[in-house]
Amino acid sequence: MNSEMKSPRSVNFLGLIAGVLMIALPFLGPWWIAKVGTGAIEIALSPFDMSISVLGQQIQSDIVALFLLAEAIAMIIAGVFMVLASVAPRSWWSKRLFRFGVMKPFWAVVILIILVVAGAFVVNNILPSFLSNMVSGTGASIQLEVPYLVGTANSVIQAGSQIMITAPINLSLAMSFWVAVAVAVLGIAARINHRKYTKQTDGKV
């Protein structure tokens, strides 16, 4: 018992850093940004916020805003749990708190990528045919080309042989996305590191 009292307090520093960054993630701004033309359409997206601007006018949805706010609160709570579990990794409750939050940044990154890629697939392969059918008989031709995650491309709307509209599209990942990736990697490393504390606790008689 005396030896346990003299032993230094254990801290899972990887989990502590990951937890602090998780608390900060909802406040770092958009992860993915899309721009069509020169200010025609701008989309800024993260798991915690979404901004859509068309010709300078903001488009908002209260339901989506509430859902994203809930995601932000959940991430902050998970970060707080990570911090508490990391500063007392040998506590009996540490494993449960750690398990609640550790994978949230990873899944946030994965889900965002899936949504963006799926959206690009729909725009490239389904939307042009749908729009062309709507304007059939007018001689208009619509060709949409959107990068699947990042990059630049041009979409073309042509009416007859004299009218052609070309819209440049630019997709990019913001620095906050790479911070989220770093947090996800830290979380996985912290989870592996945390096991040594829980094993030592479970092994005590």
Per-residue pLDDT tens listing for the chain (205 residues): 444 444 446 888 888 999 999 999 999 999 999 998 887 889 999 999 999 998 888 888 889 999 999 999 999 999 999 999 888 887 878 888 888 888 899 999 999 999 999 998 988 888 777 766 766 665 566 677 888 899 988 877 665 556 667 778 899 999 999 999 999 999 999 888 777 776 655 544 3
Q: Which two tokens stand for residue 36?
A: 């069509």
pLDDT digits over 68-122, tens only? 999 999 999 999 999 998 888 878 788 888 888 888 999 999 999 999 999 989 8
- Cα–Cα distances (Å) from 90 to 7, 132, 164, in that order, read 12, 63, 67
Instruction: Please give the pLDDT value at position 201.
Output: 53
| Amino acid at position 100, single letter | F
Question: Cα separations (Å) of 96 from 67, 101, 199?
Answer: 25, 9, 14
CA distance 88 to 91: 6
Is residue 187 exposed (0-12), middle (13-18) or buried (19+ Cβ within 10 Å)?
Answer: buried
Q: What is the pLDDT of residue 136?
A: 62
Contact 1, 137 (CB under 8 A): no
Query: Which residue is associated with the tokens 């990736």?
Result: 181
Cα Rg of the chain, angstroms:
24
Main-chain dihedrals φ then ψ at residue 87, nearest 5 degrees: -80, -15
d(Cα 13, Cα 17) in Å, to the nearest integer? 6
Q: Parallel, antiparallel, or unpaired for β 140-143 and 151-159?
A: antiparallel
pLDDT, position 200: 56
Residues in contact with 162: Cβ distance below 8 Å, sequence separation at least 6, in sequence order: none
Statement: the pTM of the whole predicted model exceeds 0.75: yes
Name the CA dihedral angle for 77, 78, 84, 89, rounded to a multiple of 10 degrees: 160
As a whole number of angstroms, the distance between CA 165 and CA 154 comes to 10
Cα(47)–Cα(75) distance, rounded to whole angstroms?
10
Q: What DSSP string runs through 46-66?
A: ETTEEEEEETTEEE--HHHHH
